[in-house]
Structure 1
């Protein structure tokens, strides 16, 4: 989906999701869906597309839930900070960061429907989050005090681009936190564990009803 379809995105998100609390982070309510395949088909039909990515923006994935939980439980790590939520999807982590007292929160994603969902979810939780639509991974510098990424190491090509970006952010002085439920492409040797949670998960999305999920901090 291209940015020129963005004006229709908000109405689509409202029509195809339900506002409800996130199971592992009940302080936050999001516009969520139940059936990924059905929603994916509805996106393609509504916008006349046949190559759109899966609707990651309509679900609270385990990595994002754990990272949001950690952020809310440790607000001192974000208070007064400029925060970037990378590959934000529904914006769960960004909303948590805003609730935790971040000075500003930018939620980055590639999909106009994700940007629309982020706006709606920020509004539903009475916080301010700025969606940023586009690919940041090639940027040579990262203008943030904290970079958050929930469940982003799920695919090899993505992981190979994400890690250098996170390393540049860390080298520039940013705190980098990643929520991950055991994805194959997380380079664990580059991170240290700061918390572990057992997060509820829709069985239709994962291979279990709950996922043990770790929050990692990038190290030198």
Structure 2
């Protein structure tokens, strides 16, 4: 997967879209193919706006929580070293890439969007690491040691994922900027770190406060 093919994916949403290699401010050690805002020489047309809303290319942005979790992993490599890590809703792949750089035995980028998986693979190559691609959470490996997830709780219907993550692996690392209270006491808050989506979407300030959580899952508890 090369940059032209990623441009093709993006142009399904925005006809004049293209990606460019950039380093997000929140995790500058990782380069990514992301949306190039230089193409927006003027406001979006009605048709373009409808396309962006109807089928957003989430993978072409590095969201605040993804940056913060990726940088946290790079700063705390012992949390992933030697483990099989599955990154749920991987998008650009930034967290899976950080896990691979930090010494994970295997870093798995899991996303239902084929374009996101293409982006994760391209971004991994850009950073000199490899990630395993997973298109279906239900068909994941049964031997995952750690689940990571960032910015996946924006939809209230996704709340059951909190329990699903705990049941799926001995450990979970979660980053989120949308919910002040997860409503699940198993998740221990480790840090609150400021981050901004890259390229910057000028979101509300409250969405720039990213909370990192860790939990020892039900599988680990059951072994005690």
Secondary structure at the residue paired with 2:143?
coil
User: What is aligned with 2:13?
Assistant: none
CA RMSD of aligned residues (A): 3.1
User: What is aligned with 1:80?
Assistant: 82
User: What is aligned with 1:23?
Assistant: 25
| Alpha-carbon offset, residue 189 of structure 1 | 2.6
In 2, Cα distance between the equivalents of 1:144 and 1:183? 26
For residues 6-30 of structure 1, what are the alpha-carbon distances to aligned partners after superposition, in whole Å with 9 as ceiling and x for unaligned? Answer: xx95452587211110110000011
Could you tell me which of 194, 208, 211 is aligned with 2:208? 211
User: What is aligned with 2:118?
Assistant: 116
**Do the aligned partners of residues 59 and 103 (structure 1) sit closer, same or farther apart at CA in structure 2, a change above 3 Å counting?**
same
Alignment of 1:26-37 (within 5 A): 26-34=28-36
Give the unaligned 5+ runs of structure 1. Answer: 1-7
2:128 counterpart of 1:126? yes
Secondary structure at the residue paired with 2:159?
helix
User: What is aligned with 2:220?
Assistant: none
User: What is aligned with 1:153?
Assistant: 153
Which of these two proteins has the greater Rg computed from alpha carbons?
2
Give the unaligned 5+ runs of structure 2. Answer: 11-16, 218-224
Instruction: Say if 2:23 and 2:30, in contact at 8 Å, map to a contact too.
Output: yes
User: What is aligned with 2:187?
Assistant: 191
Aligned residues: 201
User: What is aligned with 2:222?
Assistant: none
In 2, Cα distance between the equivalents of 1:184 and 1:154? 12
Could you tell me which of 155, 173, 178 is aligned with 1:177? 173
For residues 86-129 of structure 1, what are the alpha-carbon distances to aligned partners after superposition, in whole Å with 9 as ceiling and x for unaligned? Answer: 01011000000000000111100010110111011001101011
Secondary structure at the residue paired with 1:206?
coil
Q: Which structure shows the bigger proportion of residues in strand conformation?
A: 1
Alignment of 1:16-95 (within 5 A): 16-34=18-36, 41=48, 52=55, 54-95=56-97
Q: How does the TM-score come out when normalised to structure 1?
A: 0.79
